[in-house]
Amino acid sequence: MIITPTVLVLGAGASCPYGFPTAKQLKNRICEVFSSRTPAIRLLGDNVAPAEKFLEFREAFWKSGTASVDAFLEGRPEFLDVGKFAIAYCLIPFEIEANLYSPPAGDGDWYLYLSEKLAGAFDKFGENKLSIITFNYDRSLEHYLFNSLRNLHGRPVDDCIEKLAMIPIIHVYGQLGKIPYPQQGCRQYLPLGEDEMPGVVVGAADGITLLHEAASDLAEARKLLEAAKRICFLGFSYHPLNLARLKLENSALHRLVFGTVRHFEAGEIKQTKERLNKEMLCGAVTLDDVDNLTMLKRYVILG
């Protein structure tokens, strides 16, 4: 049971142990998939938007000098529609359930660790003082926790959906599906064949929210951060745009902030600590060049 009010803030590196790409890897995939004469261009060009617009988007993103598709679309809103379709098309194939239970990356199975910390009597699950703010589009963590509830307690699907909803999970930029997972009617968590993709991509892209569309979710995210005693950034790149969107207004000395800084240099760690102090208005910031699981265990983030 997690008894201290805690917020986990997730970046792309939080999903990487389970087979999902980093921001740079996603960019490379998008630019490869949407180059000229590819199956994606033929499929989506016929069903979603003119092929020329996808090619223009790909060329501009490729030469943009940024690895983040979110940051790119922030400055080029004319590509917002095709950008969402490209994100959905390139990420859906990574929703592979087996990867959640046999992680292909060697950076620690922190989903399992989190699930064990949340475990207890089914009726007490909602008493865990945990909230999650994620900048990722995938639903891998929700799927893992939902499956954990079902299989650990053997309870009906609807009961597990209700219990999981007691742990706030906010997707700042939306998720791969218009109906939040695992609610009834949402897109299933699984990769799809190419012939199934056009219609599914449209539905998945509808769940992605960028720019001004994320305003209401950001307000709720800030409320959770304001109330937290522990905030832990996992797999986060600390892009100034994303930190600015989480900026808090009320300082609190009891608010402790932790974060992974994988492969950061000393100067970058110092700069990141200064940014977090400024945006999170906290009592102390602890950063460490370790994987997500080690971070949670070393500093006993989850109690």
The Cα–Cα gap between 232 and 103 comes to 22
Residues 236 and 153 occupy one common structural domain: yes
Average of pLDDT values for 224-246? 95
Q: Does the pLDDT of residue 215 top 60, yes or no?
A: yes
Residues 194 and 56 occupy one common structural domain: yes
Q: What is the pTM of this model?
A: 0.94
The Cα–Cα gap between 90 and 92 comes to 6
Residues 140-165 have pLDDT tens digits of 999 999 999 999 999 999 999 999 99
Determine what percent of the chain is predicted with pLDDT higher than 90: 77
The Cα–Cα gap between 201 and 98 comes to 22
Domain assignment of residue 56, given as a range: 21-95+180-206
Q: For position 281, what pLDDT does the model report?
A: 92
Strand partners, 7: 131, 231
Residues 248 and 290 occupy one common structural domain: yes
Residues 154 and 238 occupy one common structural domain: yes
The Cα–Cα gap between 119 and 151 comes to 12
Residues 77-97 have pLDDT tens digits of 999 989 999 999 999 999 999
Residues 248 and 292 occupy one common structural domain: yes
Number of folded domains in the chain? 2
User: Does 220 reside within a domain?
Assistant: yes
* 3-class DSSP state of 114: helix
Determine what percent of the chain is predicted with pLDDT higher than 70: 93
Residues 190 and 288 occupy one common structural domain: no
What is the average pLDDT value for the chain, to the nearest integer? 92
Residues 163 and 242 occupy one common structural domain: yes
Nearest to 217 by CA among 250, 170, 249, 178: 170
User: Does 100 reside within a domain?
Assistant: no
Q: For position 104, what pLDDT does the model report?
A: 86
Residue 193 pLDDT level (bands cut at 50, 70, 90): low
Q: Specify the CATH number for the domain of residue 273.
A: 3.40.50
Q: For position 51, what pLDDT does the model report?
A: 84
User: Does 102 reside within a domain?
Assistant: no
User: Does 101 reside within a domain?
Assistant: no
What DSSP character marks residue 252?
E
Q: For position 191, what pLDDT does the model report?
A: 85
Residues 29-64 have pLDDT tens digits of 999 988 876 777 776 666 678 888 999 999 999 999
By DSSP bridging, strand 252-260 and strand 169-171 are unpaired
Residues 54 and 186 occupy one common structural domain: yes
